[in-house]
Amino acid sequence: MSATIESNPLLDKLPKHLRQFIKPQDYDDYTPINQAVWRYVMRKNVDYLSKVAHKSYLDGLRKTGIEIENIPSMYGMNRILKEIGWAAVAVDGFIPPNAFMEFQAYNVLVIASDIRQLEHIEYTPAPDIIHEGAGHAPIIANPEYAEYLRRFGEIGCKAISSARDYEMYEAIRLLSILKEAEDTPQEDIDAAEKRVDELQNNMGELSEMALIRNLHWWTVEYGLIGTVDNPKIYGAGLLSSIGESTWCMTDNVKKLPYDINAAYQSFDITKPQPQLYVTPDFAHLNSVLEEFANKMALRTGGLSGINKLIQSNALGTIELSTGLQVSGVFANVIEDDGKSVYIQTTGATALSYREKELVGHGTLYHAEGFGSPIGKLKGINLAIEDMSPRDLQAYAIYEGERVTLEFEGNIKVSGEIITGTRNLQGKIILISFKDCTVTHNDTVLFQPEWGVYDMAVGKKVVSAFSGPADVNSFDLITHVPSSQTIKAKKSPARQELEGLYQTVRNIREGKGEYTALESVFATLKQNHPNDWLLSVEIAELLKKNNTNELLQQVMAHLDTVKSNRPEVVHLIDGGLELIFEKERSLD
């Protein structure tokens, strides 16, 4: 079957700029080896994680429709996730952090639909369906954790990035693709690793996005819950890695109580983590998130918030005390005595109120940028936004009046008032002038011949955040990743091996002749002597059917593989342990 991205009303609510990252999940692309990798990881995980994962994990597998035997289809997941208020979409590898988190804000789980190759069965730096589907999905069945994930997305997508953050995203994306692809020349991997290292060592002061990504990593991806002495796993990166889920429980990994200091602990996505953080419960996660959010420009605004937007050199928004929102690329701020007194954007800008673009104030009208004073008038304690109609008339701030407004910080606005725009509370949020001149000391900021001057009204900046206030104000459908995921090669030998895996799968599902196992094993041993997983699957079927003579041959072959490939000894032993010692299922 070919699965689609249908069957969940939450997906219909996604804005267009998020839809650009969604790709169909073509279920037919999954090969028999892919299915075997999924099955091995899931059988190992369910067996081991039943002892060390948070109690929500196994229950969540059932609730979210994740099966052990088959890679999940998005169609089936969406049908089931709908019951717990979530949805899932397929994407191509890493997507930009802001977009990833914004999906979470819409209760949509982002799932990289590719699956790791057999050689990386324990861990892959690239996001894949094992990590996303078997790691993230089960835990969101816990309502308290699901709300944390949604809230994290809502706050995280507003975090302001630095200009270097996007470079880092692209560098990590490329490295993860090269490491996951088969037969990548080592020099290509070395060059990609060098680029990531260079960026990590030259990021400067960490941006809000870098800091909140750290919090995301140490909770959503690699979080532990309980006590430092007896933690349980809930992070998706650990739940989906049969290597790290075991490693993290040893004394080799330092366990630390989770608090806001985790925001300043960076991570290396390509290596096992040397330390992990333990939260006492899911409620504590929200507490730390709120503590961090209180320090973000989203809530503090001010001069520092504007400067963060300028340094990001990316689309962002400031909100004034009147509720007026200015969205664009911020280029300059004039400050006086530690306060911002004038802001300027460059290029397309839009004005909004409560995330809704003001009529007539979109990017076509403000195509060349926008500038406005911020603050109080000099010598007047009453801010314009707090003036009554009588006060406004007294200060000649009235339609048809020619006026000179002198703001603190030596900003002067001189012109004839055309009209004013008010918010729902009746406060003026925007004043339009004709024949207007704006100056800062001797510097001219606006000239009459430039047309109508629209002046924002607000005594201070109360919020600054990444992205536009109204997502419909800008064309955000522009993302083209610099690197594409690499598919496995289809050589004749690979196709023959895939056929052998399919035959064994058919036999296990009652669709093939059991007697074919002998010839399958003979071909495998002759033509694919280094493959280990199919021999484990054959051993499983032989054990169930008490075919001891052939089973002994398979076990002997596996001993040979272990001698030739010591790096897979623990994987083979782990698979055999499930067959001979711990035959049990999720049910």
Quick: pLDDT tens for 465-491. Answer: 999 999 999 988 775 555 556 566 678
Model pLDDT for residues 561-580, shown as the tens digit of each residue: 999 999 999 999 999 998 88
CB 255 within 8 A of CB 231: yes
Of the chain, the end-to-end C-alpha distance in Å amounts to 26
Q: What pLDDT is recorded for position 547?
A: 80
Model pLDDT for residues 145-159, shown as the tens digit of each residue: 999 999 999 999 999
Q: What pLDDT is recorded for position 527?
A: 96
Q: Which position has the higher pLDDT, 247 or 325? A: 325
Dihedral of alpha carbons 164, 167, 173, 175, sign: negative
Is 428's pLDDT higher than 90?
Answer: yes
d(CA 521, CA 552): 12
Dihedral of alpha carbons 376, 381, 383, 387, sign: negative
Tokens of 357: 């673009």
Average pLDDT over residues 195-213: 81
CB burial class (10 A; 0-12, 13-18, 19+) of residue 205? exposed
Weakest-pLDDT range from 190-194, 214-218, 220-224, 437-441: 190-194
Q: What pLDDT is recorded for position 52?
A: 92
Helices of type H across 181-317: 186-200, 208-216, 236-239, 244-247, 282-293, 297-300, 302-312
Model pLDDT for residues 32-85, shown as the tens digit of each residue: 999 999 999 989 888 888 889 998 888 888 787 788 899 988 888 888 888 889
- The CB density around residue 76, as the number of other CB atoms within 10 Å, is 18
Q: What pLDDT is recorded for position 7?
A: 55
Model pLDDT for residues 218-239, shown as the tens digit of each residue: 999 999 999 999 999 999 888 8
- The CB density around residue 18, as the number of other CB atoms within 10 Å, is 24
d(CA 363, CA 347): 8
CB 34 within 8 A of CB 122: no
Q: What pLDDT is recorded for position 582?
A: 52
Average pLDDT over residues 193-204: 73
Q: What percent of the chain has pLDDT over 90?
A: 60
Q: What percent of the chain has pLDDT over 70?
A: 94
Is 421's pLDDT higher than 70?
Answer: yes
Q: What pLDDT is recorded for position 585?
A: 45
Q: What pLDDT is recorded for position 5?
A: 44
Q: pLDDT band at 3, cuts 50/70/90?
A: very low
Residue where the block lists tokens 């989906």: 240
CB 50 within 8 A of CB 43: no
d(CA 240, CA 542): 28
CB 291 within 8 A of CB 211: no
Average pLDDT over residues 360-377: 96
Pick the most confident of 14-28, 114-128, 443-457: 443-457
d(CA 167, CA 102): 20
d(CA 24, CA 583): 36
